[in-house]
Amino acid sequence: MKYLKYFISPATIIAALFCISNGAHYPTAFLIGFSLFIILGDLFFNQNKSVEIFKYPSLLNLPIYINLPLLSTFIYLSIFSLTKESSSLLSIILNDSYYFNLIAIRNSFTFIDQVSLVFLSGLFIGIMGTVTGHELVHRTKSRLDMFFGNWLLAFSWDCTFAVEHVYGHHKNVATSIDPATGKRGENIYRFILRAMFREHRDAWVIEINRLRLAKKLSFSYNNRMLIGYTRSLFLTFFAFLIGGTSGVLSFLLIAFIAKSLLELINFAEHYGLVRVVGTPVKPKHSWNSNATLSSLYLFNVTRHSSHHEKSHLKYWELKPYTNSPTMPQGYLSMIYLGLFAPFLFHRIMAKKLVDWDQKFASDEERELAKKQNMKSGIPLLVDSA
């Protein structure tokens, strides 16, 4: 059972494929049901604070690897369902009866179903693609893991993650120079756009410096950014074969939503935390969570304090760190709060930040926190400065 539980991620993709194949209203119902399942599950299930020993790590890698073909299938069927064009590629791959059945299902979807399908696809890429890709691209010495990890990240056009996140964010987390750390009171939507731009910029700087030190050409097949863009272009071209121009636009919209959700995760994981540049990264510089369902779906990236302390650890090796700063709710709850009710997100986290300043911050960090509190515009933080 302790191995089987981590297969909940690919099992959910399979369940989604069967569910939406029933036609009208099912994509909307699945999105609502899936969201409530995680949010309520995190709320009512006991938190997972256990540290388990596993003898067969290959069984723990398997659900991550399986996610790539399953996610590909779901995304491209979703793209086909979002267009009105015929697909010569699908008509060749599938027999006539199944292909015409897909057309009938597509024609039954309402506008709300299509909106739900776009958001669900972005959510799936974020959870089953980016998070699992994140796990794998940290394993820089394994070609197999890097292969799967980079292709999973390609769905959200996020080759920067394998470069800036691994070699930038983990070094600069919670400092003023880290694009993935949100400041206190910062506008969440502005943060998403700022983080996207700065992460791409910083990734290019990191990659060009790496190639210069290796005495290799900056613009060549050795450039990981260019290779990453090529992967995403290939996936986008495949979307064109599935749904034409509207298929490409649908894919790019889904990729943007997936990338935005990733930035929301980044925002929640380090929101308002501060660290003096050059000082050691400690568990206190991340918001931790041991919420059960979020931990299973996100392959323990929720144990973020442990991940930032020792980023080489595999997901089943991460520690719960119950004494670290803790998110008030599970990951999906915090993402939805940030996306749909940012004022509530800031209000809830303000109390946590006041507590962090008192219990976790060093004297130097308190000074940095005071400056952010004064600029935050949040009454509780301004009064505490």
The predicted model scores a pTM of 0.94
pLDDT at residue 262, rounded to an integer: 94
Cα–chain center distance at 281: 22
Instruction: Tell me the pLDDT tens digit for each residue of 158-209.
Output: 999 999 999 999 999 999 999 999 999 999 999 999 999 999 999 999 999 9
Residue 52 lies in a domain: no
Residue 50 lies in a domain: no
Residue 48 lies in a domain: no
Residue 51 lies in a domain: no
Confidence at 377, pLDDT banded by 50, 70, 90: very high
Range 214-230 average pLDDT: 93
Confidence at 93, pLDDT banded by 50, 70, 90: confident
The number of distinct structural domains making up the chain is 1
Q: What are residue 39's phi and psi, to 5 degrees?
A: -65, -50
Residue 179 lies in a domain: yes
* Residue that has been written with the tokens 């599935």 in this structure: 242
- Specify whether the backbone of 244 is left (phi greater than 0), alpha (psi in -120 to 50) or beta: left
Residue 334 lies in a domain: yes
Largest CA distance in the chain: 70
Residue 372 lies in a domain: yes
Cα–Cα distance between 383 and 378 in angstroms, integer?
9
- Of 42-51, 112-121, 282-291, 322-331, the poorest mean pLDDT is in 42-51
Q: Where in the sequence is the domain holding 20, given as residue range(s)?
A: 4-43+57-384
Range 350-378 average pLDDT: 95
pLDDT at residue 264, rounded to an integer: 95
Query: Per DSSP, what are the bridge partners of residue 326?
Result: 288
Question: Do residues 231 and 65 lie in contact, with contact meaning Cβ atoms separated by under 8 Å?
Answer: no
Is the Cα torsion angle 119, 122, 124, 127 positive or negative in sign?
negative
Residue 67 lies in a domain: yes
Q: At residue 88, does pLDDT exceed 80?
A: no
- Alpha helices, DSSP H, located in the chain: 8-20, 26-44, 57-81, 88-93, 96-108, 111-124, 131-137, 143-154, 164, 170-172, 188-213, 224-270, 292-297, 304-309, 331-340, 342-359, 363-376, 379-384
Query: Per DSSP, what are the bridge partners of residue 288?
Result: 326
Nearest to 159 by CA among 223, 219, 98, 79: 223
Instruction: Tell me the pLDDT tens digit for each residue of 296-344.
Output: 999 999 999 999 999 999 999 999 999 999 999 999 999 999 999 999 9
Instruction: Tell me the pLDDT tens digit for each residue of 32-53.
Output: 999 999 999 999 998 888 888 8
